[in-house]
Amino acid sequence: MENIQVITQDFVNVHITKSDAETGVPVERRFKKGITVSEFKTKLELLTGGNPTTMKLKLFDSKNNYVCDIDNDNALLGSYPVDDGMRIHVEDKFVLLSDVSSSDSAERFRLSEEEYEKKGDTVRSFLQRNRLGKYNEEEMAKMKEQQQQELEEEARLAAAVLVGARCEVRVPSQGVRRATVRYNGPLEGAKGFWIGVQYDEPRGKNDGEVNGKRYFTCPPKYGGFVKPAYVTVGDFPEEAFDLDDEI
């Protein structure tokens, strides 16, 4: 009998929310599936300001339906049904840090840097004592290394996408769309590499212009910019759409 292998991607793109910002905008980040939940919580500490030892994680699908708790610190992140476009909500007993931080910032504004450093009850002193956030040099170095690796991987994927090529765009929860590549490179004000495409149908968001800067030209609503990981180049002929069958 022939062996069957199921191969999934090594990284996952998820949206992160936290319990002290229910109405805030989710933060999208990319993580390795091969890290443990404990390591994942440490990375979330740098995003949320929470404490890995107290935070609880809840997984929601792309339609905001609850899936499960991510509660085994020793398990791999990829052992849970985490997929692109899902949301991970961080519930944390340390959410008061954000409130303290606001008042702390106001007090710091009134004090000189020297006077502020002498105080022992500031948010900065708390973070320093507990080696949290930017004061944990080891974790900051790991995060920087991971970001560099992700950027290199993104550059490798982008290098295989040539302007003028036909492609399919598969953004999670948005369906498959066929298009032609019109741009490949950075976007002003955005991180990493982006692929500009002209869709076969008016299912885009722009006409090749973003934030007042034009990268290519196409009809309105036919243009879009997506990450290289969502673009598959191939022999994808333009589909014929029979508008007579539509109401």
pLDDT at site 88: 93
User: End of a domain among 95, 125, 146?
Assistant: 95
- Domain span at residue 54 reads 11-95
Q: Identify whether 172 is part of a domain.
A: yes
Tokens of 68: 């499960």
How far is residue 118 CA from its own chain's centroid?
Answer: 38
Q: What is the CATH number of the domain that holds 228?
A: 2.30.30.190
Q: Identify whether 171 is part of a domain.
A: yes
Rounded average pLDDT per 10-residue block, the chain, 247 residues: 49 84 68 90 80 87 89 90 90 51 45 50 55 61 78 89 94 87 92 93 93 94 93 86 47
Number of domains in the chain: 2
Q: Identify whether 64 is part of a domain.
A: yes
pLDDT at site 70: 94
Pairing verdict, β 11-18 and 87-91? parallel
DSSP element (H, E) containing 197: strand 194-199
Q: Which amino acid is present at 245? A: D
User: End of a domain among 75, 95, 115?
Assistant: 95
How far is residue 197 CA from its own chain's centroid?
Answer: 21
Q: Tell me if 55 sits within 8 A of 142, measured CB to CB.
A: no
Q: Within 10 A of 176 (CB to CB), how many other CB atoms are there?
A: 10
Which of 220, 108, 227, 219 lies closest to 156, judged by CA?
227
User: End of a domain among 41, 74, 95?
Assistant: 95
Q: Identify whether 243 is part of a domain.
A: no
- Calpha distance 122→128 (Å, rounded): 10
pLDDT at site 148: 82
Q: Identify whether 148 is part of a domain.
A: no
Tokens of 100: 């303290």
Angle in degrees, CA 57, 59, 63, rounded to 5: 150
Which of 182, 190, 189 lies closest to 208, judged by CA?
182
- Calpha distance 233→121 (Å, rounded): 56
Q: Tell me if 82 sits within 8 A of 12, measured CB to CB.
A: yes
- Calpha distance 72→89 (Å, rounded): 15
Q: Identify whether 110 is part of a domain.
A: no
Q: What is the CATH number of the domain that holds 69?
A: 3.10.20.90
Q: Identify whether 197 is part of a domain.
A: yes
Q: Within 10 A of 189 (CB to CB), how many other CB atoms are there?
A: 8
pLDDT at site 207: 96
pLDDT at site 111: 46
Residue for token pair 């997506």: 226
Cβ within 8 Å of residue 89, ≥6 positions away: 17, 18, 19, 57, 58, 59, 60
pLDDT at site 29: 87
pLDDT at site 221: 94
Q: Is the pTM of this model over 0.85?
A: no
Q: How far is CA 215 from CA 23, 182, 184, in A?
A: 33, 8, 9
Q: Identify whether 192 is part of a domain.
A: yes
Q: Which amino acid is present at 19? A: S
